[in-house]
Amino acid sequence: MLLEREITSWKRHKAGFVVEDVSTIIKESVEATIGGNAYQHNRVNQWTTSIVEQCLSQLSKLGKPFKYIITCVIMQKNGAGMQTASTCFWDNSTDGSCTVRWENKFVYCIVSVFGLAI
Amino acid sequence: ITSSTCLEVLQRLVVFNPDEISVSVKECVEGVIGGTDYNQSKVNQWTASIVEHSLTHLVKQGRPFKYIVNCTIMQKSGAGLHTANSCYWDTATDGSCTVRWENRTMYCVVSVFAVAVAL
């Protein structure tokens, strides 16, 4: 049991970009910033800045040899349609991305983190 | 040929040039959605098409960069939208460029991030 746990943890460390860890970091940062709030035009600027900065500082604390790009979109729930797509030209074996879609009663929030190995 | 000309040429090859990319991305967007109205059944193809064409243009330039291209299309209906980006990279060699485009029925925002690859 102990050996299995050790092997899994070693594999995750070797893998570099670990999607679950990044996903957790993003979710915590969005919850802490927006929580149950409604869309407020004069505050949404601070929210997006706060979310990306918090994610970035948590990611750099992981101490991995990566460059990061984080994008955050907050949209008011109003019936409008929105579609977003990303494409990447990188090294498939070392680089990765993670996108989290979050919502509450009033807003949608989509955060994407791209990690590129140095 | 002076050494400063050499330096300029080298810089154009390895340093990110947002103006060129901006022009190329605008052409891609115009080519895909110029003159159309927001259409829920097609928007999926549009975003995929815009990012693929933009990426192809970028890669064809043959520069030593990894790229991330992101495209968002939103219907104009009064809803508020806010986006932000944050990057942890080498500010001397890496860069990004965002192009905002709109017509009567929709907004389109395309962001290109270029990260230098060690030569």
Tens digit of pLDDT at every position of chain B (119 positions): 788 888 777 766 667 788 889 999 999 999 999 989 999 999 999 999 999 999 999 999 888 899 999 999 999 988 888 888 888 898 888 999 999 999 999 999 999 999 998 76
A51 touches chain B (CB under 8 A): yes
Calpha distance B47→B24 (Å, rounded): 16
Return the pLDDT at A12.
Answer: 57
Of B48, B80, B94, the CB nearest to A44: B80
Return the pLDDT at B41.
Answer: 93
A45 touches chain B (CB under 8 A): yes
- DSSP H or E run through B28: helix B18-33
Calpha distance A20→A33 (Å, rounded): 20
Calpha distance A72→A51 (Å, rounded): 8
Q: Can you list the residues of chain A whose pLDDT is less than 70?
A: 1-2, 6-15
Calpha distance B75→B53 (Å, rounded): 22
How far is B3 from chain A, CA to nearest CA, in Å? Answer: 30
Return the pLDDT at B38.
Answer: 92
Distances (CA, A) of A105 to A34, A37, A38, B75: 11, 9, 8, 20
Return the pLDDT at A13.
Answer: 57
* ipTM exceeding cut-off 0.90 for this assembly: no
CB interface of B with A, residues 19-58, below 8 Å: 38, 40, 43-44, 46-48, 50-52, 55, 58
How far is A1 from chain B, CA to nearest CA, in Å? Answer: 38
CB contacts of A59 in chain B (<8 Å) are 88
Residue B43, number of CB atoms within 10 A of its CB: 22
Q: What residue of A is the nearest CA neighbor of B96?
A: A69
The reply to whether residue A74 touches residue B82, judged by beta carbons under 8 angstroms, is yes
Q: What is the CA radius of gyration of chain B?
A: 16
The reply to whether residue B83 touches residue A73, judged by beta carbons under 8 angstroms, is yes
A81 touches chain B (CB under 8 A): yes
Q: Are A110 and B72 in contact (CB under 8 A)?
A: no
Calpha distance A80→A58 (Å, rounded): 33
